[in-house]
Structure 1
Amino acid sequence: MMVDKAWFETVSIPYLIHHAQSTYGAAMRKALEAEGYDDIPRNGLYVIGVLAYEPHNIQLAKIIDDLGLSKQASGQLVDTLVARGYLERQIDPQDRRRYIVSLTERGRDAARIQTEAREGIDLSLTARIGRSGLVGLRKLLAALIGVGRETQSDREANSARTLQVKGVTPILFVGDVTQAAQFYMDLGFSTDFLYGTPPFYGSVSRDGACLHLRYVAQPNFAELAATEEALILATVEVSDIHALHAEFESRGLPISRGLVHQPWGGTDFHVRDPSGNEISFVQYHPTERTNGGAE
């Protein structure tokens, strides 16, 4: 005799978790919007929820790690929450290279509303499966989280056993770190951190590219850059050089040398920051590089 399976036995666990999470998210969004908090970006509920349960301010780096997003995406998320009045960001007094974030009054009120909405779903769920069922659900989810952490630990252990050169970060000498960071933000970069008061060191990044900024009283390449042709201090590889060039032009950004199709197998253009650092943006053409630039 065939016994029909319940619908939840015929779908994957990730499917169930995704839709269960959506139940909470939809309830919290609806409650927040009803109170006028309709401008919280995606993943913002998570950040606000984490900060609501932290007894102290939390390092921005920890939130970035927990979200599993790129530094740029996480930075933009926090920037948006700060601009919209939900978070405030300060330099960590224990480690001035890092930022800490905390909830503002608006952020605490939003956290209260979303907590009440979450607790309402918890009550509805308890009515369906009972208190013991809810405890069992928590244990199951905790076990699944444990599997993920063990898998991550195994990956990190395997990586540690294999020496890897992971990348290189140019350090640009600038006369004003804040001004330089703003210049690169205008180019689409995000500020990762500014260290010092006033800042004497900082980091900016866009997608996979990262540049560090170091204050010096007199940038030592500024005079050379004015006399030497194409004295490039950093090269940033991109996937579509024409699209980036058009983006910069449309926004009126300074381009010190226009697009050039190079014989060594690439197309590039340059910008020069306020301290005279010449930066090349380039798209390589593998076929031309292999052939030595021959047509």
Structure 2
Amino acid sequence: MTKPQLSHAQPQLPASDVEALAAFYKDKLGFTIDYLYGDPPFYALVSRDGAHLNLRKLSTSVINREAQHQEQLLSAAIPTLNVESLYEEFQKQAVEFFQPLKQQPWNAKDFIIKDPDGNLLCFASPT
């Protein structure tokens, strides 16, 4: 019997407006909108390289955003090659940074962005 192997994860991020959030990921972060589902859309898949994110319409937040931001509770962590270049790319797009590019004591360099719905995404490279 062949051993099962996980290929990747697809976090599901809450969205107040799926179409608008998908546009943010496309226009500001360079993702592709793979699909929007529903009329009006209540579900979407966006991707860039090997990263895939599901966007899901929620009428009320299931997360206390204030607590999330105080505790830096990430919605997704995305391993990245050449995190410095990605940081510069996002700076040019005027993306809101929750944490600037930073060398971490665990031998990684990372930064955290906050999307329009308050989701925190960490992009990191090993150093």
- State the TM-score, normalized to the length of structure 1: 0.40
1:177 aligns with one of 18, 23, 27: 18
In structure 2, how many angstroms separate the alpha carbons of the residues matched to 1:250 and 1:278? 19
1:260 and 1:220 mapped to 2: Cα distance? 29
2:71 match: secondary structure:
coil
1:235, distance to aligned residue in structure 2 (A): 0.5
Give the CA deviation at 1:254: 1.8
Structure 1 residue corresponding to 2:68, chosen from 225, 250, 264 = 225
Two-structure CA RMSD over aligned residues (Å): 1.6
Letter in 1 for 2:101: L
Deviation at 1:240, TM superposition (A): 0.4
Aligned to 1:163: 4
Find 2:109's aligned residue among 242, 262, 267: 267
What CA deviation, in whole Å up to 9, does each residue of 1:33-75 have, x standing for no partner? xxxxxxxxxxxxxxxxxxxxxxxxxxxxxxxxxxxxxxxxxxx
Q: Quick one: distance in 2 between partners of 1:250 and 1:165? A: 35
Q: Which residue of 1 aligns with 2:54?
A: 212
In the alignment, which residue of structure 2 is the partner of 1:188? 30
Q: Which residue of 1 aligns with 2:76?
A: 234
Offset at 1:192?
Answer: 0.6
C-alpha distance in 2, partners of 1:184/1:176?
13
Q: Distance in 1 between matches of 2:50 and 2:122?
A: 15
Q: CA deviation at 1:162?
A: 5.0
Q: Which structure 2 residues correspond to residues 141-156 of structure 1 after superposition, within 5 A?
A: none
Q: Which has the higher contact order (CA 8 A, sep 6+)?
A: 2
Q: Percent identity?
A: 37
Q: What count of residue pairs does the alignment treat as equivalent?
A: 125
Paired residue for 2:98? 256
Find the structure with the greater CA-based Rg: 1
Match for 1:275: what amino acid? Answer: D
Spell out structure 1 runs of 4+ moving beyond 3 A.
Answer: none
Q: Residues 192-203 of structure 1: matches in 2 within 5 Å?
A: 192-203=34-45
Which protein has the bigger helix share?
1
Cα distance in 1 for residues equivalent to 2:31 and 2:122: 15
The alignment partner of 1:201 has SS state of strand
Question: Which structure has more strand as a fraction of its residues?
Answer: 2
Gaps of 5+ in 2: none
Question: What pairs with 1:42-121 in structure 2 (closer than 5 Å)?
Answer: none
1:140-189 CA distances to partner (integer Å, 9 max, x unpaired)? xxxxxxxxxxxxxxxxxxxx955322221111111111111011112010
Letter aligned with residue 108 of structure 2: G
In 2, Cα distance between equivalents of 1:247 and 1:212: 22
Q: Partner letter of residue 165 of structure 1?
A: L
CA contact (8 A) 1:219 1:275 kept: no
Unaligned residue ranges in structure 1 (runs of 5+): 1-159, 286-295
Counterpart-to-counterpart distance in 2, 1:201 and 1:251: 25
TM-score (normalised: structure 2):
0.90
